[in-house]
Structure formats: C-alpha cells, structure tokens
C-alpha cells in the first residue's frame, strides 16, 4: 500500500470490497472510506487510490472490453451513441431517454475459466459422480436432451472440452421511483458438479439490460454471434497443457419466471389465449362477479353494486398438443407477416408474436425451457393455495379454512426446524406478504400436510397430498423412471380435480403447468438443477452495486467484474488475517470453529468435557460396545458435529430451543436404517495408545406409515421415541430429518437438500 505497510494493496482492496459488499455502501460512501483509510497511510510510495474510479479499475479485468448498446426507450430503436437522437423522434413525442444493454464478451470469460485448475478438473464430474441408482434421473445428464447430445458424439469421455450451458434472466426492479429494471443474462456450465455450478466465479454474465422491460431480441441478438462461435468451437488453453485446444458449448437449458419466459420466447402473455409455452391449449375467459356493499353517507341507503371482471383460465382437457422448436419459429415469422398487414401490435399466432433469437440460441427452445421451482411451484402454486385457503377474500368459499387460521399459525410457530432450513417460517396471518421462496418451500414439503391434518377435510387433504408427493419426487436427487410415470398420472388427476374442488376461475397458468412438470424433468432431469433459486443472490449482488442513475452503464460493467473477481482475489490473499476478515464479512453465518478433524468430511465443534455421570444411559449404551469408563480409556462429550454440509446439534445443546437438528437416520449394525434423536456425541480416547473413536448416543425412534384417508404420504412418517439408547460410530450417521410436532403427534420428513 505504501512503503513499509503491513498490508499489500491487493489485500487491502479485497478487504475494502468485502466491507463495501457487506454494508452495502454507495459510491459516495466508498470514496469517503477510501479517503479515510488513506489518511492513515504514509504518503511516500503510496499506492492507495483515493477515488472510486481507481478502485473499480483495480478490480476490472482490463483485457475484456465491454460493449455498450443503446436503445431509445420510447420505440426501442437502436441508437449509435448514448446521446444520439432517435431516428423515429418525430413519431413519438416523449424523449424519455435511453435503455442500455451492456454486453460482456462471453468468449474471454470462458477462456479465463478454462485456464483455471478447479474449473477444468471438475468438468469431468458427470463421469466421476456416484449415482445412487444407475437407472434414476439424478442430474441434467440423465435428461433426454443431454442424452441426445451424448449420442450425437458431442461429449467425449477423455477430454472434457465440450460443455453445455443453462441460461437465466429476470427483471430486477431498481429505484422505486422509476419503472426501470435490470435484466442480467446469466449462463452456467452444467458439467460442473452441483456445488460449484452456480458459484459466482463460474457464472458467465452475457450482459445486463437497464431500462424498461426489454424485448427478447434486444438482449439476445447481441449474444447470438458469440454463442454461435462458442457452439462451433473456440480456442482454450487448459491448465494441464501449454497447447491450445478447441472447446465447444451449446445452450441446452433455460430457466426464468413466467413473465421473463413469455418475453424470451417472443410470446404474447401467460394469462391470455395460448399462453402456455409448452402446449397449444387456448384457454378461455371466465366472468367473475363481485358483490360489494357500498355504504352511503347516511347509513340507510346501502347499495349493492355488482362488478364484473374476467380472468383467463386453462380448463382441464385430456389431450394437450405440444409445441415444437421449429414450429414456434415458423409461427413467429408468420405473425410478423400478419403484423405488417394489420399493424395491430397485439398480433400473434397461437400466442407467438415474433421469431425470438432465443430459438437460435437454444438446442431446443421448447423442451429445454424449464419450469422453475421457485416461481412456479413455490411463489406460484403453493402461495396461491395458501391464499385460497386462508385469505379473507375467499372466506365464503367451500374450501376456505380462514376460521382455522389462528390454529394453523399456532401450530406453525411451535415447530422446531432443522438448521439447514435457513429461515424459520413466519405467521401466515400477519406475515405471509414477507414470506420468501424458501419459506413456501418449507411449508409445502414439510409442514403443510401435518398442520392441515385434522383441519382440512379428508377429500381436500388427499388431493393436496397428491400434489406435494409429486413435487417432492420431482425435487428429489434421485428419481426412478417409474416414479416419473406415476407422477404424471397423479398430477393430471390433481389438475382435473382442482377444477372441481376449487373452481374453474382458479385454473390459472401455474396450475396448468403442473401438467408439464414431468415433461420438463424427463428432458432436463430433477427440478433442483434448473432452479432459479441460485440466481436470486446473484441478482441481489448486482443490484447492491448500482447507486444512482448516473453513468449506470459503467456501474453495471464494474459490478459484474467486481462480483466475478472478488472470489478470485480472495483466494489470492497473502495475509491470513485479511482472509479471515473478508470471510467474516462475506459469510457472517458460516463461521464454525473446528475443534478436531475426524475424517476428511467430519469435524467436531465446540469443546470437549468429561461425559457427565448423570448420562447413565450414555454409559450403558457404550457399555454394550464394551467401552467402559476408567477401563483404559477417557470418555468425553461434545455437542456439535459438522458432517459434509450438515451441522448436527445434539439434543443436549440447550441453547438451540427453536431448532431441531438432532433428528436423524443412521445405520445400525452397519445395515439397517434406523431413526432417532442424537442426545450427545462422545469421544473415547485410549489411555495407552493414540486411538480415538467417536460415537453418537442416540435415542431410538420408531416410524410408522403416515396415512391420510386412503393415501400414504410417501415422504413423511409418523414418529415416536422409544426408551432405548444406542451408541453408534459417527460414520454411520446418514441424513438429518425434518421433525414436525403438531399437538402430541410427531412426524419425520425426508429432506430434499
Ligand atoms: C466436440 O464436439 C464435436 C462435435 O461438434 C466432436 O466432433 C468432438 O469430438 C467433440 N470434442 C470433444 C473433446 O468431446
Ligand atoms: C410507471 O409505469 C406506470 C404504469 O405503466 C405509470 O403509470 C407510471 O407513470 C410510470 N412511472 C414512471 C416514473 O415512469
Ligand atoms: C382479494 O382478491 C382480489 C382479486 O380477487 C385481489 O386483487 C386482492 O389483492 C385480494 N385481497 C387480498 C387481501 O388478498
Ligand atoms: C495472484 O497473485 C499473483 C502474485 O501476486 C499475481 O501475479 C496474480 O495475477 C494474482 N491473481 C489474481 C487472480 O489476482
């Protein structure tokens, strides 16, 4: 930083950037902070840059130039420069400024990734993964689309140079006062293992749109050329050799919410005729009559006013005619021809308005477009169902459970969730508007069935169980092909009966899409690999770095580089102190102090204490394995164990009142899967040798099938604890389960993490 400084300029920049991100500083605050830091530095040979400009420049990847595209915000005509006059200026009066698409060249981003050891060496993951079951769908590689590319000879086993991409985009509103939003276009490499696939440093940013809602071709056409080059081959230099090689990439999947999907496909609307992007169901409108009492000034003359409105719905029909990639392109071309004759901006043919560049980018734009879980399942289907059941709006409907709402909330608040579900769930009555996607997910998979049991009538609950069971299967990490077939049948029945049980007017697009869920999973693998969840954070990170509308395009470009560069500069830190500081700022919740490594994937957390003599059951359990206190060994206890991604917290850890991270499955005697509650962990050290062994003391549970009406809930079991305790070697622990208590009944649910 300056002569004799204890910290290098690189470390300092990384630390400051971590601080900026953690505390969401804006441009002014960053500049002030830099000046403040500089006040404390010697001025001789000072490398500390005092302006934001230099700060950003320091992190910029200067060899990847950014390309700015400008458009008129009234008519979206292409402008040469930011200040150019719109060629159609005479046709529209308002001059509301420009929209910007900041293109970040994709090929240099990919070339940089290919030089990195961690990236390159992990591209072979699909060949090295351990499948739970060979026939099952466990990743995108097991979907039809990937298999087609494989049989075309696109992927080869020995050289991981050919790869595939998944695309995402979504509108992120900025500055509440304007109608402008950011639309980043992301690509991720499917060949990376799931834990690396969506990491920031491996996410490619094709570009960011800033302005009103874009058209597909405005944000995709600039990407078309580079993506075609990527498809036909570009030079990379893998870390293992000096020679360059040719790599090829194809976009096989896309995932977005419904409004973005309609935009990307060049379609008219998802709540109008032919709104489904997968099939050609027209749908129809139904009238809604609302009666409203208007109380006049003098309370006597109350009037009853009826208001009618209509909604577009997709009623159940048995046969659905699917769209195809090539037909959709043709429909777009036809629609453009018709538009030239009619000049009606609403023109569309079977819902398609124009030929979107998306179909030139994708291997198959219809089969490759996922139904995303976050928006469709959780913020769509799940949220709508909660609203139908509990909103005052629907309190007179037969299905309404409004009168039980406080009981439901009471049950909800009493539940102790495991710590892998980051958020607890807030009350429905007061806080449903603040629920995030993960809360709807937790409600759907784990909480809703046991909570609604006894409240919802059996007919409705059986119907609901069908939905949740199917979603649970499609979200799981290993899906048997026969389960896929039965899900399709069950979901079809669910949608058919939904119309009967809830009414035609609620048959909106999200419920219709349930019928295509299996189609999508068959093509792209389990839903978890085409989810929009990972992109939420990325969008948030970019948003945090945009401060004010001035020079927004340079802010956007810097934001992208900062986000992608930070993880790399963190890896490169020379000072351990700075590294710890940055990690603390960036991952405030992930800090766990390792007590002792047990093996490569497990470590103990906390402190060791001599096992209390009050834990007689624990001594008894150990004695069954021939381990006794004082007989050549020391027995200590500890409370927490980190195993892979999971942090088991034993029941004896009294501070965790709101969580239950001790209900688990484990192997007893190496072969039978059992359930139970981890009471405490023990470490047994020999007094004569260096031998140490680790055990979990577990109170054994008993599970029974959970049956509702005539249906068994496959992923939830009734559960009770027995009086027996066992000691099991720690490597026999398996999963952490979600334990749900409602009244005096206990349930355990298989997790989908
Ligand atoms: C990449 O794909 C092409 C087909 O486009 C194929 O001929 C080539 O062998 C593949 N290369 C590798 C290393 O898989
Ligand atoms: C935002 O859009 C709404 C409706 O499209 C419009 O009424 C409003 O004036 C717009 N606001 C701004 C600041 O442009
Ligand atoms: C009640 O329903 C109407 C339309 O059906 C909706 O616009 C409104 O937001 C609903 N109110 C609540 C509190 O959900
Ligand atoms: C890491 O540090 C080395 C030496 O200080 C430097 O040459 C290299 O460019 C740095 N890498 C990154 C990604 O910053």
> Residue 242 pLDDT more than 90?
no
Distance 93 CA to ligand 2 centre (A): 16
Distance 478 CA to ligand 4 centre (A): 41
Residue nearest to atom 7 of ligand 3 (CA): 393
Question: What does the alpha-carbon distance between residue 50 and residue 35 come to, in Å, rounded to a whole number?
Answer: 6
User: Phi and psi at residue 458, in whole multiples of 5°?
Assistant: -60, -40
Nearest-atom number in ligand 2 for the CA of 96 is: 14
Q: Mind listing the pLDDT tens digit for each residue in 710-723?
A: 899 999 999 999 99
Q: Mind listing the pLDDT tens digit for each residue in 171-211?
A: 988 866 678 888 999 999 999 999 999 988 899 999 999 88
Q: Mind listing the pLDDT tens digit for each residue in 55-76?
A: 666 555 444 577 889 998 888 8
- Give Dmax (Cα) for the chain: 96
Q: What is the pLDDT of residue 235?
A: 95
Nearest-atom number in ligand 2 for the CA of 177 is: 13
> Residue 666 pLDDT more than 80?
yes
3 state SS of 574: coil
Residue nearest to atom 1 of ligand 4 (CA): 572
Percentage of the chain beyond pLDDT 70 is 92
C-beta of residue 497 within 8 angstroms of C-beta of residue 462: no
Q: Which range (17-31, 385-399, 455-469) has the least confidence?
A: 17-31
Mutation to probe ligand 1, out of 157, 160, 162 (largest number of atoms < 8 A from CB)? 162
Closest ligand, as measured to the CA of 429: 3
Average pLDDT over residues 705-733: 95
Distance 178 CA to ligand 2 centre (A): 7
Q: What is the mean pLDDT of the chain?
A: 89
Pairing of β 640-643 and β 692-708? unpaired
Residue nearest to atom 12 of ligand 3 (CA): 393
Q: Is 156 in the pocket of ligand 1 (CB under 6 A)?
A: yes
Among candidates 571, 529, 600, 476, which has minimal Cα distance to 196? Answer: 529
Q: Is 179 in the pocket of ligand 2 (CB under 6 A)?
A: yes
Distance 235 CA to ligand 1 centre (A): 13
User: Phi and psi at residue 603, in whole multiples of 5°?
Assistant: -145, 155
Strand partners, 638: 681
3 state SS of 645: coil
Which residues have CB under 6 Å of ligand 3?
391, 393
Q: Is 584 in the pocket of ligand 1 (CB under 6 A)?
A: no
Residue nearest to atom 10 of ligand 2 (CA): 179
Residue nearest to atom 14 of ligand 4 (CA): 569
Which residues have CB under 6 Å of ligand 4?
568-569, 572
User: Phi and psi at residue 516, in whole multiples of 5°?
Assistant: -105, 0
Q: What is the DSSP string of 266-326?
A: TBS-TTSTT--SSB----EEEEEEEEEEEP-SSTT--EEEEEEEEEEE----S--PBP-HH
* Residue of 161 and 301 predicted with greater confidence: 161
Q: Is 175 in the pocket of ligand 2 (CB under 6 A)?
A: no
Nearest-atom number in ligand 3 for the CA of 288 is: 5
Helices (H), 503-625: 509-513, 517-524, 533-544, 552-571, 576-586, 616-623
User: Phi and psi at residue 692, in whole multiples of 5°?
Assistant: -130, 145
Residue nearest to atom 13 of ligand 2 (CA): 178
Question: What does the alpha-carbon distance between residue 312 and residue 281 come to, in Å, rounded to a whole number?
Answer: 12
Question: What does the alpha-carbon distance between residue 63 and residue 41 come to, in Å, rounded to a whole number?
Answer: 31
Closest ligand, as measured to the CA of 572: 4
Question: What does the alpha-carbon distance between residue 539 and residue 660 come to, in Å, rounded to a whole number?
Answer: 32
Q: Is 232 in the pocket of ligand 1 (CB under 6 A)?
A: no
Q: Is 152 in the pocket of ligand 1 (CB under 6 A)?
A: no
Question: What does the alpha-carbon distance between residue 448 and residue 401 come to, in Å, rounded to a whole number?
Answer: 13
The helix (run of H) or strand (run of E) holding residue 604 is: strand 602-605
Average pLDDT over residues 5-26: 81
Question: Which long-range contacts (C-beta less than 8 Å, at least 24 apart) are formed by 346-352?
Answer: 346/268, 348/267, 348/268, 348/274, 350/274, 350/280, 350/323, 351/267, 351/268, 351/269, 351/272, 351/273, 351/274, 351/275, 351/276, 351/280, 352/265, 352/266, 352/267, 352/268, 352/274, 352/328
* Residue of 117 and 445 predicted with greater confidence: 445
Q: Which range (36-40, 106-110, 245-249, 318-322) has the least confidence?
A: 36-40
Question: What does the alpha-carbon distance between residue 229 and residue 115 come to, in Å, rounded to a whole number?
Answer: 19
Q: What is the pLDDT of residue 62?
A: 44
Strand partners, 741: 746
Distance 555 CA to ligand 2 centre (A): 24
Pairing of β 245-255 and β 162-169? parallel
CA dihedral (501, 507, 512, 514) in degrees, to 10, reads: -40
Question: What does the alpha-carbon distance between residue 97 and residue 94 come to, in Å, rounded to a whole number?
Answer: 9
Q: What is the pLDDT of residue 78?
A: 85
Q: What is the pLDDT of residue 300?
A: 63
> Residue 430 pLDDT more than 80?
yes
Distance 532 CA to ligand 1 centre (A): 30
Question: What does the alpha-carbon distance between residue 149 and residue 146 come to, in Å, rounded to a whole number?
Answer: 5
Can you give 143-168 as a three-state secondary structure string?
Answer: CHHHHHHHHCCCCCCCCCCEEEEEEE
Can you give 196-263 as a three-state secondary structure string?
Answer: HHCCHHHCEEEEEEEECCCCHHHHHHHHHHHHHHHHHCEEECCCCCCCCEEEEEEEEEEECCHHHHHH
Rg (CA), the chain: 29
Closest ligand, as measured to the CA of 564: 4
**Sign of the Cα pseudo-torsion (389, 391, 392, 397, in order):** negative
Distance 394 CA to ligand 3 centre (A): 9
Q: Is 173 in the pocket of ligand 2 (CB under 6 A)?
A: no
Closest ligand, as measured to the CA of 307: 3
Q: Is 310 in the pocket of ligand 2 (CB under 6 A)?
A: no
């Amino acid at each position: 930083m300056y002569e004799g400084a204890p910290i290098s300029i690189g470390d300092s920049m990384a630390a400051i950037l971590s601080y900026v991100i953690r505390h969401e500083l804006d441009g002014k605050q960053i500049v002030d902070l830099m000046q403040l830091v500089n006040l404390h530095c010697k001025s001789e040979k000072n490398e500390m840059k005092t302006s934001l400009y230099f700060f950003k420049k320091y992190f910029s990847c200067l060899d990847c130039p950014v390309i700015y595209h400008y458009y008129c915000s009234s008519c979206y005509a292409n402008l040469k420069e930011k200040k150019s006059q719109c060629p159609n200026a005479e046709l529209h009066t308002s001059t509301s400024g420009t929209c910007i698409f900041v293109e970040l060249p994709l090929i240099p981003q990919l070339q940089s990734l290919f030089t990195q050891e961690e990236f390159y060496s992990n591209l072979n993951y699909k060949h090295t993964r351990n499948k739970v079951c060979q026939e099952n769908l466990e990743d995108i590689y097991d979907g039809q689309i990937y298999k087609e590319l494989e049989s075309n000879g696109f992927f080869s086993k020995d050289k991981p140079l050919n790869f595939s991409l998944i695309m995402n985009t979504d509108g992120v509103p900025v500055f509440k006062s304007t109608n402008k939003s950011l639309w980043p276009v992301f690509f991720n490499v499917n060949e990376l293992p799931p834990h690396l696939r969506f990491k920031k440093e491996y996410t490619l940013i094709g570009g960011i749109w800033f302005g009103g809602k874009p058209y597909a071709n405005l944000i995709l056409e600039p990407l078309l050329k580079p993506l075609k080059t990527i498809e036909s081959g570009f030079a990379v230099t893998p870390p293992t050799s000096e020679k360059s090689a040719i790599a090829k990439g194809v976009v096989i999947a896309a995932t977005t919410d419904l409004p973005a999907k309609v935009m990307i496909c060049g379609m008219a609307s998802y709540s109008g005729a032919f709104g489904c992007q997968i099939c050609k169901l027209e749908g129809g409108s139904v009238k809604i009559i609302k009666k409203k009492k208007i109380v006049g000034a003098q309370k006597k003359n109350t009037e009853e006013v009826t208001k009618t409105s209509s909604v577009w719905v997709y009623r159940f029909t048995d046969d659905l005619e699917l769209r195809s990639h090539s037909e959709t392109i043709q429909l777009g071309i036809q629609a453009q021809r018709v538009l030239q004759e009619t000049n009606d901006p609403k023109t569309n043919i079977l819902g398609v308005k124009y030929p979107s560049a998306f179909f030139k980018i994708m291997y198959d734009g219809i089969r490759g477009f996922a139904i995303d879980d976050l928006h469709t399942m959780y913020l769509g289907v799940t949220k709508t169902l909660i609203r139908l059941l509990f909103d005052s709006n629907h309190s007179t409907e037969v299905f309404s459970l409004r009168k039980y709402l406080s009981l439901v909330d009471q049950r909800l608040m009493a539940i102790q969730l495991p710590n892998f579900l980051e958020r607890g769930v807030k009350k429905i009555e007061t806080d449903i508007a603040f629920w995030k996607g993960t809360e709807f997910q937790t409600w759907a998979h784990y909480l809703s069935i046991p909570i609604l049991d006894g409240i919802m009538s059996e007919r409705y609950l059986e119907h609901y169980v069908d939905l949740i069971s199917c979603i649970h299967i499609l979200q799981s990490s290993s899906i048997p092909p026969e389960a896929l077939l039965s899900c399709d049948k069950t979901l079809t029945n669910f949608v058919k009966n939904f119309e009967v049980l809830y009414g035609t007017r609620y048959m909106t697009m999200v419920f219709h899409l349930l019928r295509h869920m299996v189609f999508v999973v068959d093509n792209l693998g389990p839903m978890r690999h085409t989810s929009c969840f990972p992109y939420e954070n990325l969008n948030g990170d970019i948003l945090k770095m945009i401060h004010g509308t001035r020079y927004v395009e340079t802010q956007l470009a810097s934001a992208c580089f900062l986000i992608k560069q930070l993880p790399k500069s963190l890896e490169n830190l020379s000072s351990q102190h700075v590294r710890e500081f940055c990690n603390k700022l960036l991952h405030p919740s992930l800090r766990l102090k390792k007590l002792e490594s047990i093996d490569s994937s497990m470590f103990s957390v906390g402190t060791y204490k001599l096992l209390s003599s009050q834990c007689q059951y624990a001594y008894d359990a150990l004695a069954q394995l021939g381990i006794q206190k004082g007989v050549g060994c020391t027995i200590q206890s500890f409370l927490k164990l980190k195993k892979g991604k999971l942090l088991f917290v034993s029941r004896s850890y009294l501070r965790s009142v709101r969580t239950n991270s001790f209900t688990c499955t484990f192997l007893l005697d190496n072969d039978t899967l059992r359930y139970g509650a981890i009471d405490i962990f023990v470490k047994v050290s020999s007094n004569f040798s260096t031998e140490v062994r680790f055990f979990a003391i577990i109170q054994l549970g008993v599970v029974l099938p959970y049956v509702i009406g005539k249906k068994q809930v496959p992923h939830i079991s009734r559960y009770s604890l027995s009086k027996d305790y066992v000691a099991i070697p720690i490597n026999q622990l398996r999963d952490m389960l979600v334990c749900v208590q409602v009244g005096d009944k206990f349930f355990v649910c298989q997790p989908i993490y």
